[in-house]
């Protein structure tokens, strides 16, 4: 109750200043009352350390009661569920809130509209500096219903997949929610992927409709999205393309297939009855890279995902009703799904949509936005923090950041220098940093410091604590569990969580092979971790052939597959190497066929162009070495360990090379590498 008073008081204070200025204090009073009502409904987010400990213990000892109670109190159900969970870590089965009926858009919109229709759902921080647009919950609901009605008119039915290839914008959020309104499955593809990558995702997901924009805008650069869609569709069979006019550019519209989205919406009703969905019906597919094969469509389901996104958002960011919360991720990644859209909106929050880039018009962009929008929580990526710290403190310090309460980071390890700059300079040593470890597959944050940080001093670059229900397990190479503290091993999860991926779209066998068969009884994350002497978790990085470039996951095999198609290329091996800003960069070793007359420089340029057009510019290798051969064992396996050491400028670490078929190649590779620097 005291918190209720404190929050209402703070809100009153902020709102009143504004209200007095604008002579709207009657509205302010009713807004405060509705916030107080919302708080009573959802409960507090700032918990004491004892309460957190008790909740964590209960979440492991009695998960049925723990999750069951939260699901009933935090979500609106069309029909109550009959069983909390039917999950089995041996078979990779996760079923939660069985036989319940729910609608995700109703939980993210209608129930907030009923309480406070004018509350701000989204603040769109547009690419153009100093321009933001506020969208209320009522407006977002109406737009969502209109898109839903357009989709229905175009023949989209429950269970169909809709591909969304759009810039970060309120209308893109309305499109995602419109799918959930009618029970369609969305497949959002990051609007930086190439036509080839887009067409592979359209085909794999079986999308019959694509929603896109004429162009995207990032850092004032125009990105021709509709043209890319047109190219992608040369290899797909799609009925309709809906085009949102972001810039108004003149784009090609194919008669009978392509329609302007807003024109189509204008004739539609602003109401659409939400489709009752089974808790376990698919909600969305999101593609991510693995160590082998093509990207996999990670599939999440309705109720468990929503509850997990909502709870992690609330507790990890100490989100309180009335806060302005900004996660600057793109909606094309899981962070955008869970912490721009679903988690915040399910909590009735005001969520900032960031369309731009951190250095446009200058490296103060984030902090100018924090001041202007009065942001309370800021959630970003280490790669941006590393980039911004290079420009010095002046770009941060000239803006008022006193509203900030919590800072978050995600996607890759944050190095200590970046952590300290974030904590000391951006947060002025008063904002805890939530270093959140999780994955596309987990749907939401799994390990993060926030819950107990009020009593435990923060540790730089350390996610520290498991969230409710999470049982982190460390295994040795043989799969034996490592007990006690001060141990390092393969990071696995030993318990089912409501937000876990249910399958890989169309490939359950691959799902089991990648995550559940390597170490039976556990979910294998692909990461290594250390449990320190105090029992806190540190992430040591991927243990497979996945690399992390600017927080984006990339399978080295994907890049190799593209480059192998070059006529002059015999063989390739791609590894990651430490990169000051990007975290990891892409380093390609390439061997050529006999008798190639083309210059090495031309071949390198062509290889880079191929990767750009097949995957996207973020995947292009910055370092390409034309190598005399690749270091292989006698059985023909490439020793990537050696290639990684050379790429990392640590040839002294290559260690024992006696098992190589031809060890002379190593010296040549090292010499070539030095020439590249």
Kindly indicate which of the ranges 3-11, 25-33, 394-402, 436-444 contains the residues binding ligand PRX, using the contact rule CB under 6 A. Answer: 436-444
325 vs 349: CA distance, rounded Å: 7
Kind and range of the H or E element at 644? helix 640-647
Between residues 304 and 526, which has the closer beta carbon with respect to ligand PRX?
526
Among residues 102, 104, 72, 67, the alpha carbon closest in space to that of 84 is found at 67
Query: Token digits for 379?
Result: 């959630």
Is residue 340 at the binding interface for ligand PRX, with CB under 6 A as the rule? no
Is residue 52 at the binding interface for ligand PRX, with CB under 6 A as the rule? no
673 vs 242: CA distance, rounded Å: 48
Q: Binding ligand PRX by CB under 6 A: which of 297, 348, 411, 432?
A: 411
Kindly indicate which of the ranges 167-175, 405-413, 610-618, 637-645 contains the residues binding ligand PRX, using the contact rule CB under 6 A. Answer: 405-413
Q: Binding ligand PRX by CB under 6 A: which of 438, 467, 516, 522?
A: 438
Is residue 189 at the binding interface for ligand PRX, with CB under 6 A as the rule? no
Is residue 281 at the binding interface for ligand PRX, with CB under 6 A as the rule? no
CA dihedral 445, 451, 455, 461 (to 10 degrees): 10
Residues of this chain, 522-561, that bind ligand PRX according to CB under 6 A: 525-527, 539, 542, 548, 553
Kind and range of the H or E element at 115? helix 111-115
Between residues 68 and 528, which has the closer beta carbon with respect to ligand PRX?
528
Ranked by CB distance to ligand PRX, the top (closest) residue is 440
Kindly indicate which of the ranges 76-84, 388-396, 435-443, 610-618 contains the residues binding ligand PRX, using the contact rule CB under 6 A. Answer: 435-443
Is residue 440 at the binding interface for ligand PRX, with CB under 6 A as the rule? yes
DSSP 120: E
Tokens 């407006």 belong to 139
Kindly indicate which of the ranges 84-92, 387-395, 411-419, 529-537 contains the residues binding ligand PRX, using the contact rule CB under 6 A. Answer: 411-419
DSSP 413: P
CB of 319 to ligand PRX, least distance (A): 18
Is residue 380 at the binding interface for ligand PRX, with CB under 6 A as the rule? no
439 vs 552: CA distance, rounded Å: 11
Is residue 334 at the binding interface for ligand PRX, with CB under 6 A as the rule? yes
Residues of this chain, 445-474, that bind ligand PRX according to CB under 6 A: 463
CA dihedral 651, 656, 657, 660 (to 10 degrees): -140
CB of 139 to ligand PRX, least distance (A): 29
Between residues 436 and 614, which has the closer beta carbon with respect to ligand PRX?
436
Kindly indicate which of the ranges 226-234, 433-441, 466-474, 643-651 contains the residues binding ligand PRX, using the contact rule CB under 6 A. Answer: 433-441
* Contact in structure between 576 and 549 (CB atoms under 8 Å): yes
Query: Alpha helices, DSSP H only, in 441-534?
Result: 508-511
Among residues 476, 470, 429, 428, the alpha carbon closest in space to that of 448 is found at 470
Kind and range of the H or E element at 461? none
| Strands 406-410 and 377-380, sheet pairing | parallel
Kindly indicate which of the ranges 160-168, 408-416, 422-430, 505-513 contains the residues binding ligand PRX, using the contact rule CB under 6 A. Answer: 408-416
Between residues 404 and 410, which has the closer beta carbon with respect to ligand PRX?
410
Between residues 126 and 644, which has the closer beta carbon with respect to ligand PRX?
644
Between residues 170 and 583, which has the closer beta carbon with respect to ligand PRX?
583
Binding mask 568-597 for ligand PRX (x = CB under 6 A): ------------------------------
Kindly indicate which of the ranges 134-142, 206-214, 387-395, 432-440 contains the residues binding ligand PRX, using the contact rule CB under 6 A. Answer: 432-440
CA dihedral 508, 511, 513, 515 (to 10 degrees): -150
Residues of this chain, 81-100, that bind ligand PRX according to CB under 6 A: none
Tally of CB atoms within 10 A around 502: 24
7 vs 19: CA distance, rounded Å: 17
CA angle (118, 77, 319) in 5-degree steps: 50
Tokens 């309180």 belong to 320
Between residues 106 and 330, which has the closer beta carbon with respect to ligand PRX?
330
CB of 435 to ligand PRX, least distance (A): 5
CB of 414 to ligand PRX, least distance (A): 7
DSSP 662: -
Q: Binding ligand PRX by CB under 6 A: which of 139, 435, 544, 545?
A: 435
How many chain residues are in contact with ligand PRX, going by CB under 6 A?
Answer: 21
Q: Binding ligand PRX by CB under 6 A: which of 301, 335, 351, 434?
A: 335
CB of 411 to ligand PRX, least distance (A): 5
CB of 374 to ligand PRX, least distance (A): 26
CB of 197 to ligand PRX, least distance (A): 15
Three-state DSSP state, 327 = strand
Three-state DSSP state, 529 = strand
Between residues 334 and 575, which has the closer beta carbon with respect to ligand PRX?
334
Three-state DSSP state, 241 = strand
* Contact in structure between 522 and 494 (CB atoms under 8 Å): yes
Three-state DSSP state, 202 = helix
CB of 307 to ligand PRX, least distance (A): 18
Q: Tell me the C-alpha to C-alpha distance, in Å, between residue 159 and each of 164, 200, 281.
A: 16, 20, 8
CB of 301 to ligand PRX, least distance (A): 17
HSE-up (13 A, CA, CB side) for residue 565: 13
Kindly indicate which of the ranges 209-217, 305-313, 409-417, 560-568 contains the residues binding ligand PRX, using the contact rule CB under 6 A. Answer: 409-417
CB of 512 to ligand PRX, least distance (A): 18
* Contact in structure between 272 and 182 (CB atoms under 8 Å): yes
600-623: b (≥16 Cβ within 10 Å) or e: eeebbebbbebbebbbbebbbbeb
Between residues 208 and 538, which has the closer beta carbon with respect to ligand PRX?
538
Q: Binding ligand PRX by CB under 6 A: which of 45, 212, 436, 584?
A: 436
Among residues 554, 566, 646, 643, the alpha carbon closest in space to that of 604 is found at 566
Kindly indicate which of the ranges 10-18, 117-125, 404-412, 499-507 contains the residues binding ligand PRX, using the contact rule CB under 6 A. Answer: 404-412
Between residues 323 and 435, which has the closer beta carbon with respect to ligand PRX?
435
Is residue 410 at the binding interface for ligand PRX, with CB under 6 A as the rule? yes
Residues of this chain, 283-302, that bind ligand PRX according to CB under 6 A: 288
351 vs 375: CA distance, rounded Å: 10
* Contact in structure between 490 and 541 (CB atoms under 8 Å): no
Ramachandran sector of residue 287 (left: φ over 0; alpha: ψ -120 to 50; beta: rest): beta
Q: 195-205 vs 600-614: helix axis angle to the nearest 10?
A: 40
What are the residues binding ligand PRX (CB under 6 A)? 288, 334-335, 410-413, 435-440, 463, 525-527, 539, 542, 548, 553
């Amino acid at each position: 109750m005291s918190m209720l008073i404190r929050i209402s008081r703070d809100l009153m204070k902020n709102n009143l200043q504004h209200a007095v200025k604008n002579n709207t204090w009657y509205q302010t009073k009713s807004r405060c009352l509705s916030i107080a009502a919302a708080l009573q409904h959802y409960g507090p987010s700032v918990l004491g350390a004892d309460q957190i400990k008790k909740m964590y213990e209960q979440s492991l000892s009695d998960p049925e009661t723990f999750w069951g109670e939260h699901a009933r109190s935090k979500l609106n159900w069309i029909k109550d569920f009959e069983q909390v969970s039917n999950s089995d870590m041996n078979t990779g089965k996760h079923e939660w809130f069985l036989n319940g009926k729910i609608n995700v858009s109703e939980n993210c919109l209608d129930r907030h509209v009923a309480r406070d229709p004018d509350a701000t759902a989204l603040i769109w921080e547009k690419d153009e500096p100093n321009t933001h647009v506020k969208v209320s919950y009522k407006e977002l609901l109406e737009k969502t219903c209109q898109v839903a009605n357009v989709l229905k008119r175009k023949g989209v039915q429950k269970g169909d997949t809709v591909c969304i290839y759009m810039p970060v914008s309120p209308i893109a959020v309305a499109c995602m929610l419109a799918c959930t309104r009618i029970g369609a499955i969305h497949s959002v593809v990051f609007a930086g992927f190439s036509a080839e990558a887009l067409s592979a995702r359209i085909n794999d997901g079986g999308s019959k409709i694509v929603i896109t924009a004429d162009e995207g805008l990032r850092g004032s650069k125009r990105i021709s999205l509709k043209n890319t869609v047109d190219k992608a569709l040369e290899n797909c069979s799609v009925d309709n393309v809906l085009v949102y006019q972001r810039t108004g550019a003149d784009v090609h519209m194919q008669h009978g297939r392509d329609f302007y989205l807003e024109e189509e919406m204008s004739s539609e009703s602003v109401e659409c009855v939400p489709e009752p969905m089974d808790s376990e019906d698919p909600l969305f597919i999101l593609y991510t890279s693995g160590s082998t094969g093509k990207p996999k469509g990670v599939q999440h389901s309705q109720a468990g995902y929503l509850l997990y996104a909502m709870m992690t958002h609330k507790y990890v960011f100490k989100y309180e009703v009335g806060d302005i919360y900004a996660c600057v991720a793109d909606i094309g990644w899981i962070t955008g799904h869970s912490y721009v859209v679903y988690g915040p909106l399910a909590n009735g929050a005001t969520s900032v949509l960031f369309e731009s880039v951190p250095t446009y018009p200058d490296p103060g962009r984030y902090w100018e936005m924090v001041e202007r929008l009065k942001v309370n929580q800021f959630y970003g990526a280490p790669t941006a923090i590393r980039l911004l710290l290079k420009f010095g403190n002046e770009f941060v310090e000239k803006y008022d950041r006193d509203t900030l309460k919590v800072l978050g980071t995600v996607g890759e390890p944050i190095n200590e220098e970046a952590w300290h700059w974030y904590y000391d300079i951006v947060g002025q040593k008063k904002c805890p940093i939530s270093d959140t470890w999780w994955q596309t597959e987990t749907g939401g944050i799994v390990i993060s410091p926030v819950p107990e940080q009020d009593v435990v001093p923060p540790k730089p670059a350390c996610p520290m604590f498991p969230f409710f229900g999470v049982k982190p397990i460390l295994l040795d190479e043989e799969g034996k569990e490592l007990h006690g503290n001060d141990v390092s091993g393969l990071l696995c999860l030993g318990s089912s969580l409501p937000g876990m991926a249910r399958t890989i779209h169309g490939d359950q066998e691959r799902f089991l092979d990648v995550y559940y068969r390597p170490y039976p009884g556990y979910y294998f994350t692909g990461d290594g971790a250390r449990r320190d002497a105090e029992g806190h978790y540190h992430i040591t990085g991927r243990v497979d052939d996945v690399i992390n470039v600017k927080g984006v996951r990339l399978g080295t095999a994907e890049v190799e597959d593209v480059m192998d198609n070059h006529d002059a290329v015999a063989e390739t091996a791609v590894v990651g190497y430490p990169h000051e800003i990007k975290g990891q960069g892409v380093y390609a070793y390439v061997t050529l066929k006999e008798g190639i007359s083309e210059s090495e420089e031309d071949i390198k340029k062509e290889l880079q162009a191929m990767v750009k057009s097949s995957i996207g510019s973020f995947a292009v290798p910055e370092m390409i070495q034309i190598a005399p051969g690749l270091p292989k064992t006698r059985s023909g396996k490439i020793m990537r360990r050696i290639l990684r050491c050379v790429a990392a400028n640590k040839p002294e670490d290559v260690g024992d090379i006696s098992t190589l078929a031809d060890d002379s190649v190593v010296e040549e590779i090292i010499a070539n590498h030095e020439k590249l620097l």
